Amino acid sequence: MKKKNSALSTVLTVFLSILCVAWVYPIVMILLNSFKVETAISTSGVFQLPNAATFAGLANYVNAVGSKGFLSAFGTSMVITITSVVAILLCCSMCAWYITRVENFFTKMVYFLFVFSMVVPFQMLMFTLAATSDQLKLNTPWNIWVIYLGFGAGLAVFMFTGFMKSIPLEIEEAAMIDGCNPLQTFFMIVLPVLKPTMISVGILETMWVWNDYLLPYLVLDRKKYTTVPILIQYFKGSFGRVEMGPMMACIMLTVLPIIIVYLVCQKYIIDGVVAGAVKG
C-alpha cells in the first residue's frame, strides 16, 4: 500500500510540475520578448533568449508607457477595480449576513438567485446590458461598479454565506445585549471575523475586474475612457502592423501588479475557501 501511494504521489508531482510549467511558460515568453527589438519578435527568434543583437533594453517599456495613453488607461483600470471590489465586498457581505440570520422563504429564494446568477453566460446579456448602461449613464469608470456588483455578487454571496454559518450567533446576541444596533453589530463584530473570506473574495474579484476586457469594451465610452486590457489591442502601426515590442511590455505591466497581489495573498484564498466550506 505504501509503495502504491508513493508511486501515485510521484505521478501527481510530475503531472502538476508539467502543468505548472505550461502555465508559467507564456508569461516567461512575454517577459523575454518585451526586452527584444521588433525584428527579433516578429521572426523565428521569438523563442530565443535576448542577445547583444536583439536586446532592446527598456525601450519597449518606455514606448508602452509614453504612448497610446497607458497612464490614463492604467488609472481608469485602477478606479474601476477599486470601486467595484469595495462595492462587492461591502454589499455582498451585508447581504450574506442578512440571508444567514433571517431564515425564511424569501431569503432562501434570494440566495438561490445569487447562486443561479453564476451559471448565466455573459453573452446572453451583453447586448441588452450595453443599451441599458447607456440609458442609465453607467458608461463611465465612476459608476460602472454598479454593473460589476451585479455580476460579481453571485460568487461573493456564496462564499460569504458559507463562512457566515460558522460564526456563533451568541457573539452577535451578546453585542446586541450590550446596546449595539444591527449596523454596529455588523461593522464591529461580524466584519472583523469575516477577514479571511473578505481577503479571498477581494483577491478573486480584483483579478477578474482588473483583467476584464469584454464588459468595459461594451459599456464604456471608448472615446473618453480606455482600460489597460483594451489599450493592448491599439498597439498597431500602419496597415495594421502590430507593434509587438511595446505590446509585450504593456502586457507585462498589466499582468505584473495582479501577479504580485496574488503571490502575496494566495494563502488567504485557501484559508477563506476552507473557512467558507465549514458549517458550524
Q: What is the CA radius of gyration of the chain?
A: 23
What is the Cα–Cα distance from 118 to 158, expressed in whole angstroms?
10
245 & 133 share domain: yes
99 & 52 share domain: no
Confidence check: pLDDT of 209 > 90 = yes
7 & 75 share domain: no
Q: What is the pTM of this model?
A: 0.83
171 & 40 share domain: no
For the stretch 121-162, pLDDT in tens is: 888 888 888 888 888 888 889 999 999 999 999 999 998 998
pLDDT of residue 273: 56
Please list, in sequence order, all residues whose beta carbon lies within 8 angstroms of the beta carbon of residue 214, skipping any fewer than 6 positions away: 122, 126
Domain extent for 203: 66-276
For the stretch 169-207, pLDDT in tens is: 888 888 888 888 888 888 888 888 888 888 888 888 998
Confidence check: pLDDT of 272 > 60 = no
111 & 44 share domain: no
What is the Cα–Cα distance from 18 to 11, expressed in whole angstroms?
11
56 & 71 share domain: no
pLDDT of residue 63: 84
Confidence check: pLDDT of 9 > 60 = yes
248 & 127 share domain: yes
Long-range contacts from 81-85, C-beta under 8 angstroms, 24+ separation: 81/206, 81/209, 81/210, 83/141, 83/142, 83/145, 84/144, 84/145, 84/148, 84/149, 84/152, 84/205, 84/209, 85/202, 85/205, 85/206, 85/209
171 & 91 share domain: yes
**Contact in structure between 275 and 197 (CB atoms under 8 Å):** yes
15 & 132 share domain: no
72 & 133 share domain: yes
201 & 241 share domain: yes
Q: Is 266 strand, coil or helix?
A: helix
Mean pLDDT, the chain, as a whole number? 84
**Contact in structure between 93 and 194 (CB atoms under 8 Å):** yes
Q: How many domains does the chain have?
A: 2
For the stretch 86-98, pLDDT in tens is: 999 999 999 999 9
pLDDT of residue 266: 72
Task: Find where cell 527589438 sits.
Answer: 37
> Residue 89 is part of a domain; what is its CATH number?
1.10.3720.10
